[in-house]
Structure 1
């Protein structure tokens, strides 16, 4: 029976099951591909996706889903055409092994009827139809018994010839329907002239056309015209010709073979020569001589357990039954091959194309991820080497820069020391350049000295700056450029330009910090009139310098006897403490009482006479007597007058100008002593400034190097994370690529197994 395990229809059924499984796998594969694309797109390291890739995967999934829906609806469709009363419905009933469709004499079927299988669960157990039902133009289910009144041309409720009634018959009752075969019955093609609408509505998706002809006549022009139009709309349709009612030939056995040969030749000529759908050799297997009525009776008897040869059959009925079975066999093989190719070949090709495209995409993703991962590994290895190179070079540059900074700082100290010593020796000239109104009034004198201090401070700073700053600036710039040139190769990977900012640093302005006001705060001028031939002046000339005089007078100078002690606040904390002397803690002589002064004077005179010969004292005491005895009183008188005149002259010339010169001379002596004390301090301070300036520049360059190192380390960590991400992408894309190859191989195997035409 049709539909058993040996039926050719199983070819289509198995192909449908196989392709559904394949498309389910393809759908799952594309969904996995889409999730993979989404994961890559949502990650922070979206490095390899193209904009159209996600759209391509989404479009592929939509195509596959559409094909799956079509595959679920795909079935083998066979359409029966012929003139009225040729037995189309009887042939279908014979193939279904039951009387389902209405049959009769004349014009019986008035509309299209499709018979498809349904499960036994479609109807209840109490349903007398056993689960069979019908649908009329998509309406609700109706009883199978109403098919006659709806489709019979003589019924008052008969539907129009363009309508379709869908009959669903349980698959358990007909093995043919188990294999997704749909049989479509049609009105006679001689009922209407609007054949094109029939073809468009019911024939474009048909796999096999069966022309049911009347064996008692020949092929009519109406039948040929219809199939010519089918052939125009469809490319080489599969057509079978059934010469029905061949049992009538039993009444004329002598002419049976001649009539058979006549019908066979005309059928072959129509298929091969007129329609040109197959060759003549193939057309022989497409023309059959059957009796649908006898076949239906025999099969219904067999299903009822009765003998398969009911009474009243004409002679030769067994041959006609075998011919009908041969027709079914050829029909099943043809429709199975045809339906498999027409239903699945195009879908298989589309799926293969989609899989090939996704395979290319997966291969591209794998190659891209591999290339990017190799680039990341190479870049990270380069960065690690770069870090090691920077660290090694920084050790060398740091040592070299430290040595050059110390060398330049020592040179700066030497230059400032020499320049300051020269400027101290030229201090009288600088003091003489000071021109301000002078008056011995204490208020005016205080202002005069403050301006003098400022003049000396500005002059010394200006002179030292002119002598030292220019040369030191050149050396500092040279040293700075050497540092920058040494550091610059280490900053190649930096996104900033630190070398430019370092090279555009403002010129170094050295501060000499000579605070003359605080330095000379203990200066006290002595501008009182002193006669040059006075006793104190003569003694001072004989005794010598100020330091020697202080030593000979017991550590006390006559010009400080009347001075009050200097407060501690007058001493600048910016200058280093002077070494302790016989003066007070703050550089001033302690207050002296007259008794101490006389004792000191006597002690000094004793030290002087003790250290020299007493002959000098004796000679000094003999001078007046010798003068008296040698030159007489006139000379003495003249000397006294001259002495008085000289005193008067000096007293008259002791003006403000003379006092100013005396103050400047005293200030030069005082300032020279003070400035000599801070030469070392000032030169060290300048050396420290130079060292601090260059150290600051080097520190900024080191910060730039640290920024570069941080950038390299951050990039290295990012590359490590990127490599890990790309490794996952590489693994997943490789899996997708391999699965695409496997699916392509499965589709090829399916095409070879089910879609290769039979020899």
Structure 2
């Protein structure tokens, strides 16, 4: 009894310690510590699963947009972690405290389980009763049912006797199979606190103990050896637990000496038998199995009567007294010892289950978080490094773009001035050269040697050919004088443009541009279009005597017209009788005016007026007046001599008016007409040629500008692309930093869990 009191005091101290584990709520049972630990570790791993899932999703998104930040192994590790954590979460959800009852046949294993449940749930009786493994656990739905191994069908819990009773001739299960018996949690404190009780067949009914251990005992937190107090520990029982001890590191083993109520029949040997059982059981636990110390062994060995406890609890459930019924002497002591076993068992299984179930998961969680933090730190550093590289690239692109834009403005202004100067120079050269060629037009026309005929049809064809010849000849002469120099200047200007602009292009585009400089040489087109220009030319090929009165009059009139006009204007302006101007302009009156007949010199203007009058009237009267005037003035001999000479000249010229003479006269008239027309288009032609040069140079420069603009556009696109990658890298940095912070929080939660439940 003294040992019993000491164990009770030790249990009370341990209970005080367990109650201080939680600061959130008062814990009245060690089993509740496991429940709280399970709840907390589940919540932590739910957070870890959410964390890993979020990390997987975010990292995949970052990897899709920026593949260089995350390598394949890191991404694969994160995905593997997600599946691993899901598996741990599923295991944690199913995890419960598990106690396995073993012993020889008819030692009362099922009765002990029933006593702990407080009801007759499992089949029990004399002889070999249980023929398979029976696992009793709490029902989530609150109903009682059972499920056989490999099936999800719910069966009536009463059929457990039919399925698991060894005396049933129609048994369907063997000793290796497991039946899950679900019992309402509100009918048993153990089940409510997530404890599973596993009943087994007798260890002496099968040699396949290794299979039992591997299939049903490897995850047990506490083993209860139910021995028969009327005998001693058997080799079979010891061998089984030796095998358990070889597979598990220091398993928690309780030894129940059942049927201790038989000692009431021999009270004189009670203490000696108890001492004998204690010594042998202690030696077995301490010396043979080495699973505990001698002090700990005293709290692992109990003397009970499971049948009495079951009967008392069934009676109590019915509302009767615990002592009702046929009970042996000393029942109260045995009942209290059974309760002490339950308290010790609860304390042990709670501590053991927390370590066996959650220690490994906690360590796995910490290793997983550590690896995740390492991956996130690597991604963060790599993102930062690439982010800095992208910033430098953007800076270089911006500097290059600014340089390109500024250089383009400077080169554009320079090229505009150069093109303007060259255009002016071309205009001057073309104008001068064309003027020189116009002055030499007679030489060009004289070289035209197509057969000439005065017939109108032939003459029209002759004029068309002459137009083409003159246009071609002038163009050839201008090209011969200007094209080489112009082409050279233009080519040099284009090369200078290419050289300056190619410096603004990327190396690969610059090489392509300089590698393909072949192009048609530029040539100025001189668009004279003589056919349209001289379309209004009308030749006059009728014979005209060079000493005819009209010809002479034209010559004299052209010589004296300006001086006569000036003198008349002076007299008109200075004469007070300007109103008599109409009379002074009459040639007949002036011709017979006596004041103007003194000399021939004074009458030259008068003669010209008379000639004009006579020619103007084209009548005989004019000729008679002129003849009379000349006869009176110079005499008839001189007139006859002059008339003879005049006639000979006329005859000579008339005979000389051949086709060749007509051709010369035609060419002379054409040269005179074409010269006047060509001089009208000198400025237009030179402007047209300068415009061609301007267009050629401007086109070349525009093409080069377009290449530079494309290069600038490419730089802008590259900057946008880099900016997009920079945003992705910034997001990657933020994501990795955020995940690192979350990982630190989870790491702290796991440490707190260890400090609270595992230390």
Following the alignment from structure 1 to structure 2, what is the Cα–Cα distance between the partners of residues 178 and 229?
A: 31
- Paired residues of 1:469 and 1:509 also in contact (CA < 8 A): yes
Alignment of 1:663-742 (within 5 A): 663-708=666-711, 730-742=733-745
Deviations 1:292-319 (A, max 9, x none): 346556766777674679986456x777
Following the alignment from structure 2 to structure 1, what is the Cα–Cα distance between the partners of residues 654 and 272?
A: 182
- Paired residues of 2:264 and 2:328 also in contact (CA < 8 A): no
My pick for the range that moved more, 229-238 or 70-79, is 229-238
Partner of 1:467: 481
Alignment of 1:111-126 (within 5 A): 111-118=132-139, 122-123=142-143
Following the alignment from structure 1 to structure 2, what is the Cα–Cα distance between the partners of residues 538 and 492?
A: 78
Quickly say closer, same or farther: Cα 1:675–1:177, change in 2 above 3 A. closer
- Which sections of structure 1, spanning at least 5 residues, go unmatched? 124-131, 555-595, 629-635
Partner of 2:297: 284
Following the alignment from structure 1 to structure 2, what is the Cα–Cα distance between the partners of residues 609 and 273?
A: 175
Partner of 1:19: 41
CA displacement at 1:412 relative to structure 2: 0.6
CA displacement at 1:16 relative to structure 2: 0.9
2:748 aligned with 1:753, yes or no? no
CA displacement at 1:464 relative to structure 2: 0.5
Match of 2:446 among 432, 435, 438: 432
Partner of 2:184: 170
Alignment of 1:648-663 (within 5 A): 654-663=657-666
Partner of 1:79: 100
Match of 1:106 among 104, 112, 127: 127
2:433 aligned with 1:419, yes or no? yes
Following the alignment from structure 2 to structure 1, what is the Cα–Cα distance between the partners of residues 286 and 563?
A: 157
Partner of 1:67: 88
Q: Normalised by the size of structure 1, how large is the TM-score?
A: 0.74
CA displacement at 1:406 relative to structure 2: 1.7
Partner of 1:347: 361
- Paired residues of 1:380 and 1:716 also in contact (CA < 8 A): yes
Following the alignment from structure 1 to structure 2, what is the Cα–Cα distance between the partners of residues 454 and 102?
A: 132
2:463 aligned with 1:449, yes or no? yes
CA displacement at 1:204 relative to structure 2: 3.1
2:198 aligned with 1:184, yes or no? yes
CA displacement at 1:460 relative to structure 2: 0.7
Following the alignment from structure 1 to structure 2, what is the Cα–Cα distance between the partners of residues 695 and 390?
A: 19
Following the alignment from structure 1 to structure 2, what is the Cα–Cα distance between the partners of residues 515 and 552?
A: 41
CA displacement at 1:694 relative to structure 2: 2.7
Quickly say closer, same or farther: Cα 1:495–1:666, change in 2 above 3 A. closer
Match of 2:113 among 92, 97, 102: 92
Quickly say closer, same or farther: Cα 1:621–1:476, change in 2 above 3 A. farther
Partner of 2:220: 206
**Pairwise CA RMSD:** 5.0
- Paired residues of 2:286 and 2:297 also in contact (CA < 8 A): no
Alignment of 1:199-238 (within 5 A): 199-234=213-248, 236-238=250-252
CA displacement at 1:334 relative to structure 2: 3.4
My pick for the range that moved more, 724-733 or 426-435, is 724-733
Following the alignment from structure 2 to structure 1, what is the Cα–Cα distance between the partners of residues 59 and 244?
A: 47
Deviations 1:572-616 (A, max 9, x none): xxxxxxxxxxxxxxxxxxxxxxxx9x99xx9xx99x956989999
Following the alignment from structure 1 to structure 2, what is the Cα–Cα distance between the partners of residues 548 and 687?
A: 42
Partner of 2:352: 338
Q: Normalised by the size of structure 2, how large is the TM-score?
A: 0.74
Following the alignment from structure 2 to structure 1, what is the Cα–Cα distance between the partners of residues 536 and 92?
A: 116
Following the alignment from structure 1 to structure 2, what is the Cα–Cα distance between the partners of residues 161 and 539?
A: 157
- Paired residues of 1:31 and 1:61 also in contact (CA < 8 A): yes
Following the alignment from structure 1 to structure 2, what is the Cα–Cα distance between the partners of residues 611 and 259?
A: 190
- Paired residues of 2:545 and 2:551 also in contact (CA < 8 A): no
Deviations 1:61-89 (A, max 9, x none): 44333332222221111111111222323
- Paired residues of 1:268 and 1:283 also in contact (CA < 8 A): no
Following the alignment from structure 1 to structure 2, what is the Cα–Cα distance between the partners of residues 500 and 381?
A: 28
CA displacement at 1:680 relative to structure 2: 2.8
Aligned with 1:193: secondary structure?
Answer: coil
Deviations 1:364-389 (A, max 9, x none): 55556555655665555555555554
CA displacement at 1:475 relative to structure 2: 1.8
Quickly say closer, same or farther: Cα 1:136–1:523, change in 2 above 3 A. closer
Following the alignment from structure 1 to structure 2, what is the Cα–Cα distance between the partners of residues 609 and 381?
A: 98
CA displacement at 1:712 relative to structure 2: 5.2
Following the alignment from structure 1 to structure 2, what is the Cα–Cα distance between the partners of residues 290 and 224?
A: 18
Aligned with 2:156: secondary structure?
Answer: coil
CA displacement at 1:407 relative to structure 2: 0.9
Following the alignment from structure 1 to structure 2, what is the Cα–Cα distance between the partners of residues 536 and 164?
A: 154
Deviations 1:466-501 (A, max 9, x none): 211221222223333333444444444998999669
- Paired residues of 1:456 and 1:516 also in contact (CA < 8 A): yes
CA displacement at 1:447 relative to structure 2: 1.6
Quickly say closer, same or farther: Cα 1:472–1:270, change in 2 above 3 A. same
Following the alignment from structure 1 to structure 2, what is the Cα–Cα distance between the partners of residues 243 and 650?
A: 172
Deviations 1:128-166 (A, max 9, x none): xxxx5555665544255x655654444566665525444
CA displacement at 1:529 relative to structure 2: 5.4
Deviations 1:308-335 (A, max 9, x none): 79986456x7776665455444433432
Alignment of 1:496-515 (within 5 A): 506-515=520-529
Alignment of 1:477-516 (within 5 A): 477-492=491-506, 506-516=520-530
CA displacement at 1:459 relative to structure 2: 0.8
CA displacement at 1:343 relative to structure 2: 2.2
- Paired residues of 1:493 and 1:708 also in contact (CA < 8 A): no
Following the alignment from structure 2 to structure 1, what is the Cα–Cα distance between the partners of residues 208 and 538?
A: 141
Following the alignment from structure 1 to structure 2, what is the Cα–Cα distance between the partners of residues 140 and 100?
A: 16
- Paired residues of 1:81 and 1:189 also in contact (CA < 8 A): yes
